Chain A
Amino acid sequence: MTEKTLQRTFVGGTVVFLAVLGGMTVDSLHQVNAGRTPPVTDQVAHGKYVFQRKNCNDCHTILGIGGYYAPDLTKVADRRDAAWLASYLADPAAAKPGTTMPGQGLAAADVADLVAFLDWVRHIDTNGWPPQPLSSLATGPARPAAPGAWQARGCAGCHMVDGQGAAGPGPDLSRIGATPYDGMANDTAFLARWLADPPAAKPGTAMPKAALTREEIDSLVRYLAALR
Chain B
Amino acid sequence: MTPHASVTHRSAVVAYPFFLAAALLFLLQVVFGLLLAAQFVWPHLLMNVLPFNFGRATHLNLMVFWLLLGLMGASYYLVVEESDSEIFSVPLAWANFVVLLVAGVGTLATYWFGHVAQGKPFTEAPMPFPLLIALGVVLFLVNIGVTLFRAKRWNAITFTLAFGMVGMTLLYLFDLPFYRNLTVDYYWWWWIIHLWVEGTWEIIASAIMAFLLVKLTDADRTRLAKWLYAEVALVLFTGIVGIGHHYYWIGTPRYWLLWGAVFSALEPLPLVLMVWDTFASMKHRHPEPVDHVTWYWLGGSAVGHLVGAGVWGFAMTLPQINKWTHGTQVTASHGHFAFFGAFAMLVIAAMYYMVPRLRGMERYAPRRSMWAFWLMSLGMVAMVLAFTVAGVVQTYLVRLVGMDFMAVRTQYVSFWLLWVGVFGLVAFLPGVVAFLWDFLGGKPAAAPAA
**Chain A 62-78: CB-based contact to B (< 8 A → 1; otherwise 0):** 11111111111000000
Choose one: A29, A129, A163; the contact of B248 (CB below 8 Å).
A129
Asked whether, in the complex, the Cβ of B229 is within 8 Å of the Cβ of A3, the reply is: yes
In the complex, how many residue pairs between chain A and chain B have their CB atoms under 8 Å apart?
219
Known: A3-B226, A102-B48. A62 touches B182 (CB 8 A): yes
Q: Which residues from A are CB-within-8-Å of B57?
A: 55, 58
Choose one: B51, B251, B332, B405; the contact of A102 (CB below 8 Å).
B51
B225 CB–A CB distance under 8 Å: yes
Asked whether, in the complex, the Cβ of A127 is within 8 Å of the Cβ of B249, the reply is: yes
Q: Which residues from B are CB-within-8-Å of A168?
A: 407
B371 CB–A CB distance under 8 Å: no
Asked whether, in the complex, the Cβ of A135 is within 8 Å of the Cβ of B402, the reply is: yes
A162 CB–B CB distance under 8 Å: yes
Q: Which residues from B are CB-within-8-Å of A48?
A: 180, 182, 185
B89 CB–A CB distance under 8 Å: no
A residues contacting the other copy or chain, number (CB 8 A): 73
Known: A58-B57, A67-B56. A40 touches B159 (CB 8 A): no
Asked whether, in the complex, the Cβ of B47 is within 8 Å of the Cβ of A102, the reply is: yes
A160 CB–B CB distance under 8 Å: yes
Known: A6-B226, A6-B233, A102-B47. A52 touches B118 (CB 8 A): yes
Asked whether, in the complex, the Cβ of A7 is within 8 Å of the Cβ of B327, the reply is: no
Q: Which residues from B are CB-within-8-Å of A31?
A: 252-253
Q: Which residues from B are CB-within-8-Å of A66?
A: 120-121, 327
Choose one: A10, A40, A57; the contact of B121 (CB below 8 Å).
A57
A155 CB–B CB distance under 8 Å: no
Known: A7-B156, A135-B401. A166 touches B182 (CB 8 A): no
Choose one: A20, A36, A53, A136; the contact of B117 (CB below 8 Å).
A53
Asked whether, in the complex, the Cβ of B402 is within 8 Å of the Cβ of A133, the reply is: yes
Asked whether, in the complex, the Cβ of B251 is within 8 Å of the Cβ of A165, the reply is: no
Cα distance A71–B222 in the bound complex, in angstroms: 53
Q: Which of A15-37 contact B (CB under 8 A)?
A: 17-18, 20-21, 24-25, 27-29, 31-33, 36-37
Cα distance A125–B111 in the bound complex, in angstroms: 33
Asked whether, in the complex, the Cβ of A68 is within 8 Å of the Cβ of B402, the reply is: no
Choose one: B233, B253, B332, B402; the contact of A136 (CB below 8 Å).
B402
B119 CB–A CB distance under 8 Å: yes
A196 CB–B CB distance under 8 Å: no
Minimum CB distance partner of B178 in chain A? A49
Asked whether, in the complex, the Cβ of B233 is within 8 Å of the Cβ of A56, the reply is: no
Asked whether, in the complex, the Cβ of B47 is within 8 Å of the Cβ of A164, the reply is: no
Q: Which residues from B are CB-within-8-Å of A21?
A: 240-241, 243
Contacts A/B (CB < 8 Å), 14 sampled: A17-B236, A28-B247, A29-B184, A32-B181, A36-B183, A55-B57, A56-B53, A57-B53, A64-B327, A69-B52, A131-B399, A133-B398, A133-B399, A160-B407
